Chains A and B, each alone.
Chain A
Amino acid sequence: MKSNDMAGQKVTSFLPAGFLLVVMLPLMILPLAAVFIYALQEGPKTFMATLTTRDALFALRFSVIIAFATAAVNVVLGTYAAYVLSKTRFPGREQLGIILNLPVAIPNVVVGTSLLLLWGPIGILGKFLEPLGIQPMFTAFGVLLAHIFVTFPYMVGAVKPVLDDLPVTYEEAAYTIGASRRQTFYHVVFPALRGGIITGALLTFAHSLGEFGATVMVSGNLRLQTQTAPLYIFSQFEGGNIAAANSVAAILAVISFFLFSLILYWNRKRESKKAR
């Protein structure tokens, strides 16, 4: 806020903000409020009771673990992909970039089905694994595979622009003083990327936490085994347990709010560093 005032371009005005609020109220804010109202409708005791059932606790824990694992894998894979796309030149580079971003556009259900048709017991490759007793689908590993797939673009999207903006002269300077490619990456490129990587990791985490379409296909929706929090919410809704569904939904909403606040905080810190 302070820097804005000092820049002298933005004035404090309540009218546009008020208008935005009126528009967003029925679109986003009220529906979100409904989640909390229904979650707490029968009192805080019921809220806690529905949250602490074995199924709900498992679903929340399982979701957090999968989100951590997804973020960990994609930090490595996504950063590497962004580096290759940004810093190297080869035929088909742009097409590859488009393919890596496809998961944003194709429905997650399709991702789930395609994984199932590839690795599932009757799938193209799964057919050959099944007799060996290897079955990645309907397990935690299958869920992880699906999440890595659908969240991949968020890591690349967070890191690649930073890499694109990184002046080549820094790297060239490193090379001229005799640094190897690897040394250059660790000492010059990586520190510059840290903010992008953290943002990307948090985004990946948040998307993984909320993933539904692909998970419902590859997990088999097995409670206490592969049921993530969003699947739990859906199952409880289907079964008519509105309160149980909404308490877990409320927790997910709070976690997401917290995660995106962190992202905002990190970005602002980066901006202020840059300004200095």
Chain B
Amino acid sequence: MRRLVVLLAAVAGGLAVVLWTVWPWLPLAKNRQSRTMVIYGFAIVEKTLTKSIFPAFQKKWKERTGEDLEIISSFGGSGTMTNQLIMGVPAEVAILSTELDMQRLYRSGVLKTESWKRLPYGGVMNRTPFIILVRPGNPKGIRDFDDLAKRGVRIVHPDPLVSGAANWAIMAEYGAALRKPGAKEAQGKALLLGIWRNVVSQAGSGRAARTQFENGFGDALITYEQDIIATTEDHVSTQEAVYPRSTILSEHTVTPIDKHIKPHQRELIQAFLDFLWSDEAQMLFVQDGFRSVKERLNGANPRFGVITDPFLIDDFGGWGEAKRNIIDRIWKDEVLKELKS
């Protein structure tokens, strides 16, 4: 008798687990088929997309067509996501940290054309300047990029070989030196040398570098302004932001991946892309600390810091040229070699 009870309980428990597990796939009225869309994005935009942009677009799409839209997404370091896309992940839209990764997709045949260029603002969805994070009270007296080259400053920096943020940071450092009146390549290189002599840790991604810094490692970190605005909202900060006089505005790029978009999906994807540059979506980015590509919206967030002399990657001839001439030639071949010798 006791055995029977135990057996019955076990069977009932097992059935309950099975039922709970397969519940969403049961052909019930409320589980009706919905439209799906697959999006691959880089880490920093995850929160804003999943919490603000996706729900807003789902609502819009429902109003327009009556369909429930399900958005399948995945987020990670920009380089990692690019590698996965090259391996063939069937994403329909990619949102990456740098245009460099877009160019890799194009070269590897994932994109048949430079499709991001046909979007508004050349595919740039939003921007955020690169700034310096220091410890509370700024004990090392860091006011600008030049101060990072001072003796005894320990810098946490993401690794430019795998991190989009690190590539932006190098351009910010080099560019800041070059923006000074009369400055030439030699001054840019000298600043890179000074800063990189002080780099004590190279993390795999902008996010990982941030974690190291938050855990008390190093005196300074070069990172996205958006990250600071988004985090200090709900955390007691162990850091404060320093705004350099000149710095780069990173530009995050979107592209449709045409070969993965089936004909019946085209309208949906186009609607999503259009939505990204609508005032509504751009405003959501601004609220989360990204700077809009539409300058007039940026007044809405009082937390944006003032940058006297911002510059863009286009000031260096775009990412193709900047990668060849500055990242590869000056930083990798000259600065790194000199530091090792």
Contact = CB atoms under 8 A, between A and B. Distances in A.
B88 A120 contact: yes
Contacts of B70: 224
Of residues B74, B84, B86, which shows the largest number of chain A Cβ atoms within 10 Å of its Cβ?
A: B74
Nearest to B211: A240
Of residues A116, A122, A222, A224, which shows the largest number of chain B Cβ atoms within 10 Å of its Cβ?
A: A222
A64 B17 contact: yes
A239 B43 contact: yes
A268 interface: no
A238 B74 contact: no
A213 B326 CA distance: 36
Nearest to A224: B72
Nearest to B88: A121
Nearest to A139: B90
Interface string A218-231: 00111111010000
A122 B72 CA distance: 22
B46 interface: yes
B310 interface: no
A235 B74 CA distance: 9
Nearest to A220: B89
A223 B73 contact: yes
B21 A61 contact: yes
Given A239-B43, A239-B47, A120 B87 contact: yes
Given A135-B90, A138-B89, A238 B73 contact: no
Interface residues of A, number: 25
Of residues B22, B24, B75, B89, which shows the largest number of chain A Cβ atoms within 10 Å of its Cβ?
A: B89
A61 B24 contact: yes
B84 A220 contact: yes
A58 interface: yes
Given A220-B74, A221-B74, A137 B47 contact: no
A111 to B, nearest CB: 15
Nearest to A116: B87
A138 B90 contact: yes
B293 to A, nearest CB: 24
B38 interface: yes
B17 A222 contact: no
A120 B87 CA distance: 7
A120 B75 CA distance: 20
A222 B87 contact: no
Interface in A39-83: 58, 61, 64-65, 68
Interface in A76-113: none
A222 B75 contact: no
B18 to A, nearest CB: 8
Interface in A130-146: 130, 135, 137-138
B207 interface: yes
13 contacts: A58-B24, A122-B86, A122-B87, A137-B88, A220-B90, A221-B74, A222-B73, A224-B71, A225-B36, A225-B38, A235-B75, A238-B76, A238-B207
Q: Which 5 A-B pairs have the closest CB atoms?
A: A121-B88, A220-B89, A221-B74, A225-B72, A64-B21
Interface of A: 58, 61, 64-65, 68, 116, 120-122, 126, 130, 135, 137-138, 220-225, 227, 235, 238-240
Given A61-B20, A122-B86, 8 more contacts: A58-B24, A121-B88, A135-B88, A138-B88, A138-B89, A222-B38, A222-B74, A239-B75
